[in-house]
Structure 1
Amino acid sequence: MILNNEELARKIEDIKIQGTMEYIINRKKMSPSYNGDYLSLDRKGTVFQMDNYCFGVGLGLNGAVLSSDIERVENFIREKDNCSNIHFELTPFSDQTLLKILQESGYTLEQFLAVWVLKLEEWNPNKGNLRNDEVSIVKVGAEESYEWARTVALGFSSDQNTTEDSIESVRGFLNLSHSTAFLLKEKEESVAGAFVAISDQLGEMFLTSTIQTHRGRGYQNLLIEERINYAKSKGCTHLTVMTKPNNTSARNMERNGFKLAYNKVIIKSSLCK
């Protein structure tokens, strides 16, 4: 049975918190001009500022969040002067007084996100995930790092173009400990990429994208299966991923045996200026 409970939510939120903190620390070491930062709220959660996007993770899972904590977050964001809003990611297990405080402060619902979990000992390969002779998947090393980052950035681009800043932003994830990236090639052309991070027998999948001209060929499913096998080989018992509800990615998770653990609600602040 999937552990649809508060303990599981804490583990899922924690792997995201620790990975994002490590990402920011490493980026600052590599590039002193990088402006990412984070604020830890005494084990009540963590708020991140990455470029012009600010978000909070894990709030209300380890004790009540007070109005003074929210004021501290808002002051932190104002000092950065490059985020117009704060987005708090709340689980069903977050302290209920937090939602009331945010609503009274003018925060509004932005969207829902689905959190999926796969219990690896119960997984059976999907026979529909067929790989032909023209498709190969490689584990990314130093030689493939730029090509992988470029491919992933292109996959997320709405106009099939990308910038060096976007590529370096994606490439920074390769410095995370206990993580691995995968690059999918069709013949010799790099067309899709994916990433998995591992912490305490829990793996988290993210940064999955396919360039627009090669979508609809089942490449996301092949990359899901590749990471499932990899996580099992590393001793993971569970694998998690977050998607928007009822989109193609969500359907691919169901197709590969993932179960919906819970939905997160994203609450957005008014302008923080």
Structure 2
Amino acid sequence: MLFSDLALARRLERTEAQANANFVEARQRLFPGSGANWIAVAGAYAMFDGVESPLTQSFGLGLFEAVGAAELTQIEQFFAGHGAPVYHEVSPLADAALLALLPTRGYVPIEYTNVLYRALSPEEAAPSLPTPQLRTRRIGPDEVPLWSQTSAAGWASESPGLEEFMRAYGQLSASSAGAAPFLAELQGQPIAAGGLFMHEGVALLMGASTVPAGRRQGAQSALLAARLHYAAQQGCTLAMMGALPGSQSQRNAEKNGFRVAYTRMKWQLMAETQPA
């Protein structure tokens, strides 16, 4: 049985941090002028992917090593050098001293994320498809544009105006090291996309979306099962995902055997206290 303890939190947070670091490296490789890069400070990964990118933040702060004023200053200066705001995703299993330190430096909490997990075994079942017309598969390297377009179409229907951003995001996500993107197709037409990243035996599930015309066909359940089965076949023993507390994504995860490991808090350094 996997218990929600410091060892588990370190595995989960390092996997997500590595996925984002690999994404940043993909942007750096494909767009050398973007300024994308990342650093490690006291075991935490701080990354810059663009001023408005959701990946521009740190992961694992206070979870691997103690963090004091000197370490926070180093990270803050990294973001300031890029003209970017400062955000930290902090696990409740991090050093408790960090919780007292952050407000004194001008940080405020702005967001919660539930981190969910479940064990995987080599006997993980292959997806049971609700109809013969539906199938799931891992994409080939030449299908990255198709995958990113499908993913973007699903996200844009939920948040108008995001399609161009999500298409570009999907291209990089699918091209980053450790990624294994999956498609669901109905009668040969792509209707849903889901991302998978694997690192040291942990499978991170992310980026799932369905185009409006393909909803209520069982695509996301099939994609989830397909990714879990694939990850188990690759030797992963643990799966994880993040979800807003109480969201449909969390409910879907719990229906498939996931449970909440902990609730992570996102902290923002207020502009008036950010170093120049």
- Native 8 Å contact 1:151 1:211 kept in 2: yes
Match of residue 153 from structure 2: 154
Match of residue 119 from structure 2: 119
Task: Give the counterpart letter for 2:163 in structure 1.
Answer: T
Q: How does 1:1-273 map to 2 (within 5 A)?
A: 1-43=1-43, 45-51=44-50, 52-53=52-53, 54-81=56-83, 83=84, 85-121=85-121, 130-157=129-156, 158-159=159-160, 162-163=163-164, 166-271=166-271, 272=274
Identity of aligned residues (%): 22
How far 1:126 sits from its partner (Å)? Answer: 11
How far 1:214 sits from its partner (Å)? Answer: 3.1
Provide, for residues 144-183 of structure 1, a one-character-per-residue CA deviation record: whole Å limited to 9, x for no partner. 21100111122222127622x5423221123333331101
How far 1:98 sits from its partner (Å)? Answer: 1.1
CA distance in 1, matches of 2:176, 2:109: 32
Q: Give SS of 1:179's match.
A: coil
TM-score, length-scaled by structure 2:
0.88
Give me the CA root mean square deviation: 2.3
CA distance in 2, matches of 1:61, 1:265: 13
Task: Give the counterpart letter for 1:156 in structure 2.
Answer: W
Cα–Cα, structure 1 residues 161 and 135, in superposed 2: closer, same or farther, change >3 Å?
A: farther
Task: Give the counterpart letter for 1:141 in structure 2.
Answer: G
How far 1:131 sits from its partner (Å)? Answer: 2.4
With 150-159 and 258-267 compared, the bigger mean Cα shift is at: 150-159
How far 1:125 sits from its partner (Å)? Answer: 5.7
CA distance in 1, matches of 2:213, 2:107: 39
Cα–Cα, structure 1 residues 123 and 90, in superposed 2: closer, same or farther, change >3 Å?
A: farther
Provide, for residues 12-51 of structure 1, a one-character-per-residue CA deviation record: whole Å limited to 9, x for no partner. 11112222222222321222122322221142x1111222
- Native 8 Å contact 2:134 2:219 kept in 1: no
- Native 8 Å contact 1:154 1:160 kept in 2: no
- Native 8 Å contact 1:55 1:88 kept in 2: yes
- Native 8 Å contact 2:45 2:58 kept in 1: yes
CA distance in 2, matches of 1:113, 1:47: 18
Task: Give the counterpart letter for 1:159 in structure 2.
Answer: P
TM-score, length-scaled by structure 1:
0.89
Question: Could you list the runs of 5+ residues in structure 2 that have no partner in the other structure?
Answer: none
Q: Give SS of 2:236's match.
A: coil
How many correspondences in the alignment?
268
Cα–Cα, structure 1 residues 88 and 111, in superposed 2: closer, same or farther, change >3 Å?
A: same
CA distance in 1, matches of 2:126, 2:99: 40
Question: Could you list the runs of 5+ residues in structure 1 that have no partner in the other structure?
Answer: none
Provide, for residues 77-110 of structure 1, a one-character-per-residue CA deviation record: whole Å limited to 9, x for no partner. 12212x3x32211111111111211111221121
